[in-house]
Amino acid sequence: MKTKLSLGLLSLLLATLSAPFASTCMWQPGPQDNWALFKDRFIAPEGRVIDTGNQGVAHSEGQGFALRLSLAYDDRATFEQVWDWTQANLYVRGDALAAWRWRQGGNPSVDDPNNATDGNLFIAWPLFLAAERWQEPRLRARPGDRAGDPQ
């Protein structure tokens, strides 16, 4: 009871304090509108998720996050774009793990072949869920298997 009251008061306080700024906020009232804004701002047409706060690099974590959001909004076209880019650009290590960072204009674009465990988990989770939702067993295969990795 005490927690519900506290959360209710906190919600009321936040709504009151944010009201003057609502007209200048870029987020929209509907979830689909916010997904469209997110895609426009952070996902390049080729499927790369752009880290606007870090010189435009792409991270395995961001790619996985976009895959999960695409699935949540049942946006298969964006899911496929993000997954295709991720496979082509981050699965360059020779195993079934994604490199953690890609730099636009870098030579090479993946200058640090290490992986990030959270990024690999963020990618694997929506792939598994998408395989179930869209009845696509290929999404359950390890990325390295698609690239010819014998492991």
Residue 19 has a pLDDT of 46
Instruction: Give me the residues of the chain with pLDDT under 70, please.
Output: 1-28, 142-151
61 given a catalytic annotation: yes
Catalytic one of 61, 74, 75, 95? 61
Of the residues 111, 112, 118, 132, only one is catalytic, namely 118
**Domain 31-146 maps to which CATH number in 3.40.250.10, 2.40.10.10, 1.50.10.10, 3.90.1150.10?**
1.50.10.10
Domain boundary assignment for the chain: 31-146
Q: What is the pLDDT of residue 145?
A: 52
Question: With helix as H, strand as E and coil as C, how does 63-89 read?
Answer: HHHHHHHHHHCCCHHHHHHHHHHHHHH
The pLDDT score that the predictor gives to residue 114 is: 96
Please state, in angstroms and as integers, the Cα–Cα distance from residue 10 to each residue in 1, 16, 18, 21, 24, following that order. 14, 10, 12, 17, 22
pLDDT score at 23: 47
**CA separation, residue 53 to residues 50, 61, 128 (Å):** 9, 14, 29
pLDDT of residue 130: 96
pLDDT at position 2 is 52
Could you confirm whether 118 is annotated as catalytic?
yes
CA 64 remoteness from chain centre:
4
pLDDT of residue 143: 59
